[in-house]
Structure 1
Amino acid sequence: MTPTAAIKWPAPIASFRLIPRLGVDVAFSRSDGTVGGTISEADGIWPKRMRSIVRAGLSRWERPELIEDAETLVTELVTNALRHGRGDIRVRFYLAVDCIRIEVQDGSHETPVLRNAAPTDEDGRGLFLVRAVASDWGISTDGMTTWCALNF
């Protein structure tokens, strides 16, 4: 049986499972203040938390060369999930044979759209960055999960 670690942030907001050498699974509930495309101050901490978790996982798996790109990817995907998704958010990242895969589930069946933001736009570049940085990326058939991969 594979050992796991569970950490609870102020209950019942989040759960965290570390499966050594395999992956990390984090689920959290958005606060009541995150609605209509705005992210509350309470939820604004999640991209930073996820960057720290990704950094720790990749350090543990001896993949420091992937940290900077993985932090960029998880930040963009979590921010998009907070801004455009519904309900709880789940972030998973794990090692595959030749890559790390990052998945963010946002509870919305609306398919994310890759935009070409104008230079004066304040947002709209998240998936553009994901496409530019990731080795591969996509959206699940139900539209609820956006994923990306970084090859090593």
Structure 2
Amino acid sequence: MRLNTHTDPGLTQASSSSTTVRALEISIAADKALVAEVRHSVRATLASWGAGAIADDMAVVASELAANALKHAGGEATVRLRLTEGRALLEVDDSSMRRPVARRVGAEVEEGRGLFLVQTLAAEWGWRYRQGGGKTVWASLPAPAGCAA
């Protein structure tokens, strides 16, 4: 697991030449037990960055996306959390080319609600194929007012 604070020109706001970005990156092996560590790390990191107001929701989003990546891709996944002024962005990379699909399931079914939860909690979510293979599934939440990146 890596925790970095850096300047990322790719996330520059139009009114400035650079934006400070706080970033957390977690690489996880194909072990579903590590999903709890992802959830804990995302929650603790956001709280330490002054974004505790969204920490629980983003921890659920991270948990669901990481679990889906491990379940459907069957290999390793990388979780990235970035905080810029006004926005927290979570991305999960995996090796699968299968498109994520949110679905509604009946009350008797014990799984299959992950992307529905992500849709419910996130301001935005989506996915894209990665150059070289695999995909990135992402979700964002508005950062709390006064939260300094």
TM-score scaled by length of structure 2? 0.78
Taking the aligned partners of 1:18 and 1:119, their CA distance within structure 2 comes to 39
* 1:1-152 alignment, distance < 5 Å: 16-20=1-5, 22-30=22-30, 43-142=31-130, 144-152=135-143
Deviations 1:21-80 (A, max 9, x none): 6101111221xxxxxxxxxxxx23211101111122112211110111011111111111
Higher relative contact order (CA 8 A, sep 6+): 2
Alpha-carbon RMSD? 1.4
Stretches of 4+ aligned residues off by more than 4 angstroms? none
Structure 1, gaps ≥5 residues long: 1-15, 31-42
| 1:117 Cα deviation from its structure 2 partner | 0.9
Residue 86 of structure 1, CA deviation: 3.5
TM-score (norm 1): 0.76
Alignment: residue pair count: 125
Q: Identical aligned pairs, as a percentage? A: 34
SS of aligned partner of 1:150: strand
